[in-house]
Structure 1
Amino acid sequence: MKAVADRDPGNAYLFHRLGDTYRRNSMFRQSRDAYMASLALGRDTGGLHRSLGVSLERLGETQAAETHLLRAIEIDPGDAYALNYLGYWWADEGRNLDQAIAMIERAVSHRPSSGFFVDSLGWVHYKLGDPARAVGYLERATELEPSDPEITGHLGDVYWALGRREEAMFKWRLALTLSDDAEEQALLERRLRTGLAPEEMPGSN
């Protein structure tokens, strides 16, 4: 794909596709640069802004990432992936929670069978300090995506917050067996040793 783009350096579409290839291989600097080249050549689609926003967020360029994700939603208000990505990101960091929940609700309305989107909706309710409302969404999300360690771990957190400690431990142990990410594994191992710390409980911020 790069060779094709190099042979046709004025083709914005090819640079967009090149960026997608890099992004799928977690080569986020290269994907960012390819997407920026596509933008510079005049391409201005919601999908391009969404993909550029994702690449920038992965690189820690958060302000620019938010700008492009918001532009993607402006171009296509029904872009469930952009709505969920930005809404989940904000919810996970405890920011803009009212906007985050509205975005995720819109994403779920477009793709109700997506376990990842349903997980996001449960997680934002948890972050808002309402684990009782979150639990149904998280249980549904684990049914839709039973092999995803992050979703399973989220349900463990919600169970712990509800005082359902044995169920929380079971979900954290299951998530640990599903995960191949060292950072996530370390977090789950700490959960299994000590549970949720008081400052990690919903509504503690």
Structure 2
Amino acid sequence: MNSCLKEELYKGFRIQLNLCGPKTPWTSAQEQTGGCGRVRLARDVRRSSEASPAPSLSTEEQRALERKLKKERKKEEKRRLQEAGSCPARKTPAPRIPTDPTPPSSGATLALDYLCGWAQKRQDWKFQKTRQTWLLVHMYNPDKVPDEHFPTLLAYLEGLKGQARELTVQKAEAQMQALGEGATDGQDPLLLGQAHRLRQVLQLLS
């Protein structure tokens, strides 16, 4: 083959390579298909792999996967706490401020207030059997009914009627007999004061 023919063949081969694009190193896919067709085949394979979507999970599978991941996170957190040798701090409740509630009124306070309300003729005053009973039971005790309230109580007793009046007289006579000589000896001031009140009540109601 002469030199002119060889040059023509080389020129034709270069023209074919230029039509297929710039010279690039061939990959394995290019080697199998050859030339420009090899490049196109490799590109098509890559595009098809990128375009194919990842397989989707069902709802149950997603939930199972989430539970699994949650358990793994808890295990990992527990392991870290054990390694650190500490436990999560518990929230301590806020200290309660001690309140100072108003103490309930005693029976004596309520009964004496009831008696004062009657004496002052308060508009909101009304009869209360419980308060009256307390006054009748404790009226001979100066510790329960002070001396300054006893004249008011005598005025209140003037309004007693019926069975309440009779029972008050009977109890006063029985207590006077129980005191006996102790009320007249004058040795015990407490007994002497009780006897004096008993006489006033008997004198008023008899």
TM-score, L = length of structure 2 = 0.27
Structure with more helix by fraction: 1
Specify the structure having the higher radius of gyration (Cα): 2
TM-score, L = length of structure 1 = 0.27
